[in-house]
Amino acid sequence: MSECLSLKLSECLTPILNECLTLISIRGQTLITTHFTCIKNFLKLFTFDRVEITRKKKREVGSTVAKRLRYNMNACIGCQTCSLVCSTLLGQHSLSESAIYIKTKGGLQSPYVCVVCVACKENIACLEACRTGALRARPGGGVLFDKSKCISCRLCVKACAIGAVQYSEKLDQPVICRHCGTCTRFCPHQCLWMEEVEEIAEVVEAIEAEALETSKTSSPTPETTHPKEGEAKS
Amino acid sequence: MIYQDYIRVLTIDLTEETYVISQRKDLKAFLGGVGIASKLLEEHLKEDKPVLDSEQCIVFAIGALSTIFPIVTKTVAMFWSPLTGELGESYAGGRMALTMFMARYDAIVIKGRAKKPIYLSISGHSVEFKDAAAMWGLESDEVGRIIREREPGAGKRSILRIGPAGENLVRYASVCVDTYRHFGRLGLGTVMGSKHLKAICIYGKGSHEIKDRKAYFKAFSDIHQKALTTDLMKKYHDLGTPIGVSGMNANKSIPTLNLQTTFYEDISALTGEAFAQRNLIRKTACAGCPVGCIHIGQFRREFGPGYEYEAISVSYDYELIFSLGTFLGLKTSDEVLEMIEAVEAYGLDAISAGVVLGWATEAFQKGLITEAQTLVPLAFGDQKNYLKALKHISDRTNDFYTTLGDGSAAAAKLYGGEDFAMQLAGNEMAGYHTGYGSVLGAAVGARHSHLCNGGYGFDQADDFSMDTLVDRVFDEELHRCLLNSMIACLFGRRLYDRGTIVTAMASIGETHTEESLKQAAAEIYKNKLRLKKRMGFDQTAMKLPKRFFETPGGGTQLEEDVLNRLIRDYDEKCQTLFTKAE
Sign, CA dihedral B42-B48-B49-B52, equals positive
Give CA–CA dist A163/B184, Å, rounded: 37
The 3-state secondary structure of B425-481, one letter per residue = CCEECCCCCCCHHHHHHHHHCCCCCCCCCCHHHHHHCCCCCHHHHHHHHHHHHHHHH
Digit-coded pLDDT (tens) for B276-316: 999 999 999 999 999 999 999 999 999 999 999 999 999 99
- Which of B204, B221, B287 is opposite residue A79, by nearest beta carbon? B287
CA A150 to chain centroid: 22
Which class for B307: exposed (0-12), middle (13-18), buried (19 or more C-beta within 10 A)? Answer: exposed
Q: How many CB atoms lie within 10 A of CB A3?
A: 9
pLDDT at residue B375, rounded to an integer: 98
List chain B residues with CB under 8 Å of A87: 207
Give CA–CA dist B123/B128, Å, rounded: 9
Q: Which of residues 237-266 of B touch A (CB under 8 A)?
A: none
List chain B residues with CB under 8 Å of A96: 102, 156, 205-207
Q: Say if A172 is an interface residue toward chain B (CB within 8 Å).
A: no
DSSP B203: E
CA distance A203 to chain B (A): 33
Q: Say if A55 is an interface residue toward chain B (CB within 8 Å).
A: no
ipTM rounded to 2 decimals: 0.92
CB contact under 8 A, A107 and B208: no
List chain A residues with CB under 8 Å of B2: 93
Q: Say if B217 is an interface residue toward chain A (CB within 8 Å).
A: yes
Which residue does chain B place closest to A101, by CA atoms?
A: B155
Q: If we measure between CA atoms, which residue out of A21, A27, A36 comes closest to residue A67?
A: A21
Give CA–CA dist B529/A121, Å, rounded: 64
Q: Are B73 and A78 in contact (CB under 8 A)?
A: no
pLDDT at residue A65, rounded to an integer: 77
Half-sphere exposure of B253 (CA within 13 A, CB side): 25
- Which of A51, A109, A234 is opposite residue B214, by nearest beta carbon? A234
List chain B residues with CB under 8 Å of A97: 207
Helix/strand/coil for B202 = strand
- Phi, psi for residue B149 in degrees, rounded to 5: -80, -25
Give CA–CA dist B327/B423, Å, rounded: 13
| Structural domains of chain B, with CATH | 7-203 (3.60.9.10), 240-416 (1.10.569.10), 427-581 (1.10.599.10)
Neighbouring residues of B158: CB distance < 8 A, sequence distance ≥ 6:
B94, B95, B96, B98, B99, B100, B177, B178, B201, B202, B204
pLDDT at residue B202, rounded to an integer: 98
Give CA–CA dist A98/A89, Å, rounded: 9
Which residue does chain A place closest to B147, by CA atoms?
A: A107
pLDDT at residue A10, rounded to an integer: 43
pLDDT at residue A220, rounded to an integer: 39
List chain A residues with CB under 8 Å of B144: 107
Give CA–CA dist A174/A169, Å, rounded: 9
pLDDT in tens, chain A (234 residues): 344 444 444 444 444 444 444 333 333 333 333 344 444 444 443 333 333 344 344 444 444 578 999 999 999 999 999 999 999 999 999 999 999 999 998 888 889 999 999 999 999 999 999 999 999 999 999 999 999 999 999 999 999 999 999 999 999 999 999 999 999 999 999 999 999 987 655 555 665 666 566 555 544 344 443 444 333 333
Buried b (16+ CB within 10 A) or exposed e, B265-301: eebebbbbebbbeebbebbbbbbbbbbbbbbbbebee
Q: Say if A53 is an interface residue toward chain B (CB within 8 Å).
A: no
Low-confidence ranges of chain B (pLDDT < 50): none
CB contact under 8 A, A78 and B284: yes
- Which of B2, B156, B292 is opposite residue A189, by nearest beta carbon? B292
pLDDT at residue A107, rounded to an integer: 82
CB contact under 8 A, B313 and A221: no
Q: If we measure between CA atoms, which residue out of B1, B2, B38 comes closest to residue B522?
A: B38
DSSP B173: B
Neighbouring residues of B39: CB distance < 8 A, sequence distance ≥ 6:
B27, B30, B527
Q: Say if A93 is an interface residue toward chain B (CB within 8 Å).
A: yes
Across the A:B interface, residue pairs with CB atoms under 8 Å apart total 109
Give CA–CA dist A3/B46, Å, rounded: 65
**Residue-wise DSSP of A180-200:** --HHHHH-TT--EEEEEE---
Q: Which of residues 97-116 of A touch B (CB under 8 A)?
A: 97, 101-104, 107-109, 111-112
Q: Which of residues 83-102 of B touch A (CB under 8 A)?
A: 98, 101-102
Which class for A201: exposed (0-12), middle (13-18), buried (19 or more C-beta within 10 A)? Answer: exposed
CA B101 to chain centroid: 21
List chain B residues with CB under 8 Å of A77: 283-285, 289-292, 294
**Residue-wise DSSP of B10-37:** EEEETTTTEEEEEEEGGGGGG-SHHHHH
CA distances from A212 to A31, A208, A226 (A): 37, 6, 11
Sign, CA dihedral B427-B433-B436-B438, equals negative
- Which of A79, A88, A170 is opposite residue B290, by nearest beta carbon? A79
pLDDT at residue A200, rounded to an integer: 56
Sign, CA dihedral A146-A80-A224-A15, equals negative
Give CA–CA dist B61/B49, Å, rounded: 24
Give CA–CA dist B482/B459, Å, rounded: 23
Q: If we measure between CA atoms, which residue out of A153, A83, A158, A163 comes closest to residue A118?
A: A163
CA distance B278 to chain A (A): 18
CA distances from B145 to A86, B37, B135, B196 (A): 29, 30, 11, 19
pLDDT at residue B30, rounded to an integer: 97
Give CA–CA dist B149/B65, Å, rounded: 31
Digit-coded pLDDT (tens) for B65-80: 999 999 999 999 999 9
List chain B residues with CB under 8 Å of A222: 213-214, 217-218
| Structural domains of chain A, with CATH | 1-57 (no CATH), 60-234 (3.30.70.20)
Determine which of A55, A94, A169 to mutate to test the interface with B (most B C-beta atoms within 10 Å). Answer: A94
Q: If we measure between CA atoms, which residue out of B30, B11, B22 comes closest to residue B487?
A: B30
Helix/strand/coil for B302 = strand
pLDDT at residue A105, rounded to an integer: 86
Q: Are B172 and B407 in contact (CB under 8 A)?
A: yes
